[in-house]
Each structure stands twice: as structure tokens, then as C-alpha cells.
């Protein structure tokens, strides 16, 4: 049994659970650390090579790119053992980032050419690759975790996983703070190394863990094809509710994020200073999320249950959106985004991942890929559409963006109530959605 201070943080985790979730926490540390190192780079590179005005289009194009990627991922789920998906996907992305780092040093197509243009393919390529990496590898990780975890154990252990992730998400932007000294290509190389470490850790995890042994069961099940995940999504009300919870925030967050970046670009015009500002934002948001993950996530889940956690986040988002509308200044948006991001990472993300526990393997890997990859990208594209529609008028963007956001919050709250009650019923009756 854990010492008393640790039991307060994570409940009565057994020694085997602590080993399992601790190992998973280290794996997620490298996934999220690499992604958060790349995330400010994504905007810094794109703003310098293509131009920040084109960012809404980059988000929309990323949705189109995600469609074939989701189908390919669904096909790989049928062909490759789940842990081996990490070997394939991380190797591809790690190699891709090394190639990107090299291209960034090219005198013509790289960063040395300071003339931003929408025709420069490298900016689009880097943006879409980093966006897709954040969707695919994170979704794969949580599918992998949910396939070997029961609800009671998840309430105790998911906070430990999130704590490791937040340490990584603090380290990544912290490294970005030295962008002016290291340069963007070297930062990209560091991120690639982090991605390559993930499959190595998965290999050790599989060798040491006795709680992940689903391969035999999966081999006996018939393959369901690439469209099964989409079919389940549109025919199961529970999964539609999960879709709403997982994606509505992305619409709202995209609108607020764009507002902050436009204001920040005016205050920090160079690519290095702009990247450093985004690094500061990442540090601040993730430090708050780490504190919440350590002190609040597991306790709130164990004490108040999933429904409470699912409802807390949209209510908080609604309050923050209203406050930003009243006082739309850079540091107001900055502080509001930190609060929202902190709640998202520490409370909403582990809560929404728990929703997949009472579901079948096809839901965990195939339907979840549609929600986390295509759904999240589509939501960001919708938010970008709002930004594009009202970009000419800051007042119009604030007014209509706020109205749209608050309308989504209302539907979001209804979905959270439905999914929370359904989850409790499924776990009580020991049933799954399939």
C-alpha cells in the first residue's frame, strides 16, 4: 500500500497498479513532452514560413488530411497488435521530424528565407504533421490504456498518468524558451528523439507488465473493417455524447487561441520571440494542470464521480468565455486560456478517457480514432471557420464567437449529464457499448 501522502493523491493504489500506472506515466511523459515541444514550433515555423493569417486554412486542411489517416489507422488496428502500432507510428513520425529539421536548415525552402508565402510547402507540411502526431499517438496511447484498465483502477491511476504527462508538457515548452539560442531545427531534432524513445518504453512495458494480455482474445475475433468505428459512432447515442464532450471544447478553444495569437504576434513580431511567448504559455498552462493533477484529479474522481468532473469543465469554460468578452486584452486572454487549458488537461482529459472503459475494442481503437483524430480536427476547423468569417472585425469576432461558444456549452452540459449517467449504469451492470 502507498504511504499516506500518496494515498491522498492517488487513493489506495496497489503496488502492481502503482508500477503499471507509473510506467505508463513515463511513456506519456515522452509523448506529451515531445508534442508540447513541437506545438510552439508548429506556430513559430508556420508564422515565419507561410504567415499567421493562413493558420485557419491550415487547420481546415488538416481535417481533410486526417480522413485518409484515420482509415489507414483503422486498417492497421486490424493488421497489427496494439502495442506494435507504437513501433510503426512512432518510427514514421520520428523519421519525419528528423527530415523536417534538415529541411528547416535549407537556405531556400527553410527558415533562412524570411519571405513568408502561402506557396511554401514546408510550412504547411510541418503544421499538418505536428497536428496529426498530436492526435494519432495520444489517441493510440489512451486506447491502449483503456483496453487494460477497469473503472475503479482508472479513478485511482489516471491522475498518476496525467501527472507524468504534465511534467512532459512543462519540459517541452521550457526547452522552447531557449529557441533563440538553440534554433528551431535543433528543437525539432530533440522532439524527434523523444518520439523514438516511446516505442522502446512500450517494449519494456509489455515485457514487465502482467496486466496487458489481450492479444489472444483479439486474434479470435473477426476483423470488422475500416468503417466499423464510424458506423458505431453514428448508431450509438452514448458515443455521440462522447463525441460532443470530446470536440465541443476544441471549437471554443480554437477561437480563443487564435485571438491570443493575433494579439501576441503584434506584441512579439520576431519568430523567436513569438515562439518563446508560446513556450511561456505552455509552461504556465501545464504547471497549473500539474498542480491540479497532483492535488485534485484523483480526489475529485473518487469523491464526486465522473458526472461531476464532466460537468465542471463546460461550466468553467462558459464563465471564462464570458469574462474574455467583457475584457478582451492579451493578458486577459492569456490568463483565461491558462485556466481553461489547465482544467482540460488535468480534469476533462482523464474524465473523457474513462468514458471508453465500458466499450468494445472496436470502440476503443476505431471509434475513438474518429473522435480524437477526425472529430477534433473538424472541431478546430469549425472554430477556424468562425475566426475566418469574422477576422475582419474584432468586435464581430468577440460578439458572435462568444454567442456560438455559449450555445455549444449548453449542448455540452446536456451531453455530459447523459454520458455520465450512462457510464454509471454500464459499469454497475457490467455491460459494454459494442
User: What would the pLDDT profile of 324-352 be if each residue is shown by its tens digit?
Assistant: 888 877 888 888 888 887 788 778 888 88
**Using one digit for the tens of pLDDT, what is the confidence trace for 398-424?**
778 888 888 999 999 999 999 999 998
Does residue 361 sit within a domain?
yes
**Using one digit for the tens of pLDDT, what is the confidence trace for 266-315?**
788 777 788 778 778 877 877 787 777 777 677 777 778 888 888 988 99
Helix, strand, coil share of the chain (percent; to 5): 85, 0, 15
Tell whether the model's pLDDT for residue 217 goes beyond 60: no
The terminus-to-terminus CA distance of the chain in angstroms comes to 35
Q: What is the dihedral of CA 227, 232, 234, 238, to 10 degrees?
A: -160
Does residue 1 sit within a domain?
no
Give the Cα-Cα-Cα angle 156, 162, 164 (nearest 5 degrees): 110
Q: Structurally, how many domains does the chain consist of?
A: 1
**Mean pLDDT to the nearest integer, 363-374:** 84
Q: What is the mean pLDDT of the chain?
A: 83
Query: Among 246, 162, 199, 165, which residue's Cα sits nearest to residue 80?
Result: 199
Tell whether the model's pLDDT for residue 44 goes beyond 60: yes
Q: Which residues 6+ apart lie within 8 Å of 353 measured at CB?
A: 142, 145, 146, 154, 158
**Using one digit for the tens of pLDDT, what is the confidence trace for 92-136?**
999 999 999 999 999 888 888 888 888 888 989 999 999 888 888
The C-alpha atoms of residue 421 and residue 401 are separated, in whole angstroms, by 30
Does residue 3 sit within a domain?
no
Query: Among 230, 424, 399, which residue's Cα sits nearest to residue 322?
Result: 399
Residue 185, all three cell numbers:
531545427
Q: Is residue 15 within 8 Å of residue 157, measured between CB atoms?
A: no
Does residue 186 sit within a domain?
yes
Which of the four pLDDT bands, split at 50, 70 and 90, describes residue 188?
very high
Does residue 8 sit within a domain?
no
The model's pTM: 0.76
The C-alpha atoms of residue 14 and residue 34 are separated, in whole angstroms, by 30
**Mean pLDDT to the nearest integer, 172-193:** 87
Confidence at residue 124, expressed as pLDDT on a 0 to 100 scale: 92
Does residue 5 sit within a domain?
no
Annotate 280-324 with DSSP letters as a single string. HHHHHHHHHHHHHIIIIIHHHHHHH-HHHHHHHHHHHHHHHHHHH
**Owning domain of residue 371:** 13-428
Q: How large is the C-alpha radius of gyration of the chain?
A: 21
Domain CATH number, residue 174: 1.20.1250.20
Confidence at residue 419, expressed as pLDDT on a 0 to 100 scale: 92
Tell whether the model's pLDDT for residue 258 goes beyond 50: yes
Does residue 7 sit within a domain?
no
Does residue 2 sit within a domain?
no
Amino acid at each position: 500500500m502507498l504511504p499516506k501522502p500518496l494515498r491522498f493523491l492517488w487513493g489506495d493504489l496497489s503496488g502492481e497498479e502503482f508500477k503499471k500506472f507509473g510506467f505508463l506515466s513515463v511513456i506519456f511523459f515522452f509523448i506529451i513532452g515531445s508534442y508540447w515541444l513541437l506545438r510552439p514550433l508548429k506556430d513559430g515555423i508556420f508564422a515565419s514560413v507561410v504567415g499567421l493569417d493562413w493558420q485557419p486554412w491550415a487547420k481546415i486542411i488538416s481535417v481533410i488530411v486526417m480522413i485518409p489517416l484515420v482509415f489507414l489507422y483503422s486498417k492497421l488496428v486490424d493488421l497489427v497488435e496494439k502495442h506494435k502500432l507504437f513501433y510503426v507510428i512512432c518510427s514514421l513520425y520520428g523519421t519525419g521530424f528528423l527530415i523536417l529539421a534538415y529541411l528547416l536548415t535549407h537556405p531556400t525552402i527553410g527558415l533562412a528565407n524570411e519571405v513568408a508565402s502561402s506557396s511554401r510547402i514546408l510550412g504547411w507540411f510541418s503544421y499538418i504533421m505536428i497536428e496529426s502526431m498530436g492526435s494519432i499517438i495520444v489517441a493510440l496511447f489512451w486506447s491502449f490504456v483503456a483496453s487494460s484498465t477497469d473503472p475503479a483502477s482508472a479513478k485511482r491511476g489516471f491522475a498518476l498518468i496525467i501527472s507524468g504527462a504534465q511534467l512532459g508538457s512543462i519540459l517541452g515548452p521550457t526547452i522552447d524558451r531557449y529557441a533563440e539560442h538553440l534554433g528551431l531545427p535543433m528543437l525539432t531534432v530533440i522532439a524527434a528523439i523523444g518520439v523514438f524513445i516511446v516505442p522502446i518504453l512500450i517494449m519494456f512495458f509489455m515485457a514487465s507488465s502482467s496486466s496487458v494480455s489481450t492479444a489472444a482474445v483479439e486474434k479470435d475475433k473477426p476483423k470488422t473493417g475500416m468503417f466499423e468505428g464510424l458506423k458505431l459512432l453514428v448508431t450509438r447515442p452514448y458515443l455521440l455524447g462522447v463525441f460532443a464532450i470530446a470536440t465541443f471544447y476544441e471549437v471554443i478553444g480554437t477561437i480563443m487561441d487564435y485571438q491570443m495569437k493575433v494579439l501576441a504576434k503584434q506584441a512579439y513580431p520576431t519568430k523567436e520571440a513569438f515562439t518563446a511567448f508560446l513556450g511561456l504559455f505552455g509552461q504556465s498552462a501545464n504547471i497549473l494542470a500539474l498542480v491540479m493533477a497532483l492535488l485534485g484529479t484523483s480526489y475529485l474522481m473518487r469523491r464526486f464521480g465522473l458526472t461531476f468532473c464532466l460537468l465542471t469543465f463546460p461550466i468553467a469554460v462558459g464563465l471564462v468565455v464570458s469574462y474574455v468578452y467583457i475584457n478582451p486584452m492579451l493578458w486577459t486572454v492569456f490568463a483565461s486560456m491558462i485556466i481553461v487549458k489547465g482544467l482540460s488537461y488535468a480534469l476533462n482529459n482523464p474524465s473523457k478517457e474513462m468514458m471508453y472503459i465500458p466499450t468494445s475494442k472496436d470502440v476503443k481503437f476505431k471509434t475513438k480514432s474518429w473522435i480524437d483524430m477526425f472529430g477534433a480536427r473538424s472541431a478546430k476547423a469549425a472554430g477556424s471557420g468562425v475566426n475566418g468569417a469574422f477576422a475582419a472585425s474584432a468586435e464581430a469576432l468577440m460578439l458572435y464567437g462568444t454567442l456560438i461558444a455559449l450555445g455549444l456549452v449548453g449542448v455540452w452540459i446536456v451531453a455530459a449529464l447523459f454520458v455520465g449517467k450512462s457510464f454509471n449504469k454500464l459499469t454497475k451492470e457490467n455491460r459494454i457499448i459494442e
